[in-house]
């Protein structure tokens, strides 16, 4: 059976994406705030904070419409992403959230400014991407979809073990031989998430991965993501329209303005990192989500 052209296009572009070109930045704001060093001695300089995993500097994005008009999609984007943190990006529809994510992924290099990495990503290995739709290959089993990025490796036994561990992590171990048509929407999206993690990328990017799911399934997947992070400490950047989702999952929330998309604010989530369903009932959770909603109004 022939491969779906759209799915193959996504994988081809992901495999051949690489470090990003761009001009040297104009530094402004939104740098990562490093944690205060413990046991610091008076008069002893604190060690320099580590370089961010990813720095976005002075990024502008324009495109031309079919009628020849020029549209400013993004303007002056400055943002640092620390290794091991979870960052949510929220904003009005059409503000360029998904465009920004695609730039980081290397799927869009038509911009000015710079996307700089502490360690340049290896093509097809260091950036995992979860799209809005699972985009699973219907003729492959769940295990076959998850292991797609591992094919061609010499260590076949190790690849099979990696797939099995990931499926167990999200409760799909008993469905390894099932096919996408036999899965619920939530199970298909779990498969897509662990597929993006199979080759152990240094960063996981997710573009509204839970938007099409019902509330109960969405909440369960939120806990799956937190469990994955707890096990892997993977750097995660995700786009969402839900302020509750951003508050529940993220360490920091980036708030973008309407087009042209600019960063209005970056907020550190005022909650302990150990989050459970009971977290959503906390007064501080409600206050923070309400504040985010007010910034989007």
Residue 30 has pLDDT above 70, yes or no: no
Angle at CA 277, nearest 5°, toward 274 and 282?
Answer: 80
Q: pLDDT tens-digit profile of 103-147?
A: 999 999 999 999 999 988 887 789 999 998 899 999 999 999 999
Q: Within the chain, how many helices (H) and strands (E) appear? A: 8, 9
- Cα 217 to chain centroid distance, Å, stands at 19
d(CA 52, CA 118): 7
Give every CB contact of residue 155 below 8 A, 6+ residues apart in sequence.
Answer: none
Q: For residues 188-201, give the mean pLDDT.
A: 93
Question: How far is the C-alpha of 285 from the C-alpha of 270, rounded, in Å?
Answer: 8
pTM of the model: 0.81
pLDDT in tens, 156-168: 678 889 999 999 9
Banded pLDDT at 180 (limits 50, 70, 90): very high
What residue ranges do the domains of the chain occupy?
Answer: 138-199
Pair 176, 143: CB distance under 8 Å: yes
| CA–CA separation, 279 and 271 (whole Å) | 8
- Average pLDDT for 195-220: 91
What mean pLDDT value characterizes the chain? 85
Phi then psi for residue 80, to 5 deg, are: -110, 140
Angle at 174 between CA 173 and CA 175, to 5 degrees: 90
Distance between CA 42 and CA 293 in Å, rounded?
42
Q: pLDDT class for 152, splitting at 50, 70, 90?
A: low
Tokens of 284: 């501080």
Mean pLDDT, range 60-72, rounded to an integer: 90
Q: Check whether 6 has a pLDDT greater than 80.
A: no
Q: Which residues of 158-190 are buried (b: 16+ CB within 10 A; e: fewer)?
A: ebeebbeebbebbebeebbeebbeebebbbbbb
Please answer whether residues 52 and 80 qualify as being in contact, where contact means their C-beta atoms are separated by less than 8 angstroms.
yes
Phi and psi angles of residue 207, each rounded to the nearest 5 degrees, phi first: -105, 95
pLDDT of residue 50: 65
pLDDT at res. 125: 83
Owner of token pair 């990025």: 149
Angle at 250 between CA 229 and CA 287, to 5 degrees: 140
Planar angle of CA 49, 54, 60, nearest 5 degrees: 125
């Amino acid at each position: 059976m022939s491969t779906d052209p759209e799915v193959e296009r996504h994988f081809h572009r992901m495999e051949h994406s690489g470090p990003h070109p761009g001009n040297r930045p104009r530094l402004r704001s939104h740098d990562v705030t490093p944690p205060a060093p413990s046991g610091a001695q008076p008069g002893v300089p604190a060690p320099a904070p580590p370089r961010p995993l990813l720095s976005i500097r002075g990024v502008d994005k324009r495109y031309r419409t079919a009628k020849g008009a020029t549209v400013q999609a993004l303007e002056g984007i400055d943002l640092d992403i620390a290794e091991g943190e979870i960052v949510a990006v929220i904003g009005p529809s059409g503000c360029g959230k998904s465009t920004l994510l695609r730039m980081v992924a290397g799927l869009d290099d038509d911009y000015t400014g710079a996307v700089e990495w502490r360690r340049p990503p290896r093509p097809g290995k260091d950036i995992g991407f979860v799209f809005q739709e699972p985009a699973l290959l219907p003729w492959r089993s769940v295990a076959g979809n998850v292991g797609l990025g591992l094919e061609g490796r010499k260590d076949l036994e190790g690849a099979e073990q990696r797939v099995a561990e990931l499926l167990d992590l999200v409760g799909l171990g008993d469905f390894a031989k099932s096919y996408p048509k036999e899965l619920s929407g939530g199970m298909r999206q779990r498969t897509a998430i662990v597929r993006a993690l199979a080759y152990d990328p240094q960063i996981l990017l997710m573009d509204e991965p839970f938007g099409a799911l019902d509330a109960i399934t969405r909440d369960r997947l939120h806990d799956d993501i937190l469990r994955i992070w707890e096990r892997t400490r993977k750097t995660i950047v995700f786009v969402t329209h839900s302020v509750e989702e951003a508050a529940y999952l993220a360490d920091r929330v980036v708030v973008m303005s309407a087009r042209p998309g600019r960063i209005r604010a970056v907020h550190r989530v005022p909650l302990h990192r150990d989050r459970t369903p009971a977290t959503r009932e906390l007064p501080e959770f409600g206050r923070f989500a309400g504040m985010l909603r007010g910034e989007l109004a």
